[in-house]
Amino acid sequence: MRASIIERLAFVAQEHQLKILFACESGSRGWQFPSPDSDYDVRFIYVRPYRYYLSVMDRAYDLNFAINGDLDMYGWDIRKVLQLMRKSNTTPFEWLQSPIIYSEEPGFKNELWALCPYYFDQRSNIHHYLGIAKGAMETIANDTEIKIKKLFYVLRPLLAAKWCLEKQSIAPMTIGPLMTLLPAPLKKQVNELIALKARAAESFVINISPDLKTFIDSEYGRINTASVALKKEHFDADKLDEFFITTITRYDH
Q: Where are the alpha helices (DSSP H) in the chain?
A: 2-16, 28-31, 78-86, 90-95, 108-115, 122-137, 148-167, 175-178, 184-197, 210-228, 238-250
pLDDT of residue 202: 86
For 214, what's the count of Cα atoms within 13 Å in the CB-facing half-sphere? 5
Write the Ramachandran bin of 144: left for phi over 0, alpha for psi from -120 to 50, otherwise beta: alpha
> Which CATH fold topology does 2-119+233-250 show?
Beta Polymerase; domain 2 (3.30.460)
pLDDT of residue 228: 93
Q: What gap in Å lies between CA 110 and CA 25, rounded to an integer?
A: 17
Residues 170/125, Cβ–Cβ less than 8 Å: yes
Residue from 148, 134, 136, 135 nearest 208 by CA: 148
pLDDT of residue 73: 95
Q: What gap in Å lies between CA 32 and CA 48, rounded to an integer?
A: 32
Longest Cα pair distance anywhere in the chain, in angstroms?
A: 59
Residues 190/206, Cβ–Cβ less than 8 Å: no
pLDDT tens, position by position, for the chain (253 residues)? 899 999 999 999 999 999 999 999 999 999 998 888 889 999 999 999 999 999 998 899 999 999 888 899 999 999 999 999 999 999 999 999 999 999 999 999 999 999 999 999 999 999 999 999 999 999 999 999 999 999 999 999 999 999 999 999 999 999 999 999 999 999 999 999 999 999 988 889 999 999 999 999 999 999 999 999 999 999 999 999 999 999 999 998 6
Residue from 147, 130, 84 nearest 227 by CA: 130
Backbone angles phi, psi at 73, to 5 degrees: -135, 135
Backbone angles phi, psi at 71, to 5 degrees: -105, 115
**Domain boundaries of the chain, sorted by first residue:** 2-119+233-250, 122-228
Q: Give, for 207, the enclosing helix (H) or strand (E).
A: strand 205-207
- The strand pair at 40-47 and 71-77 is best described as parallel
For the four alpha carbons of 179, 183, 184 and 188, in that order, the dihedral sign comes to negative
Tell me 221's DSSP state. H
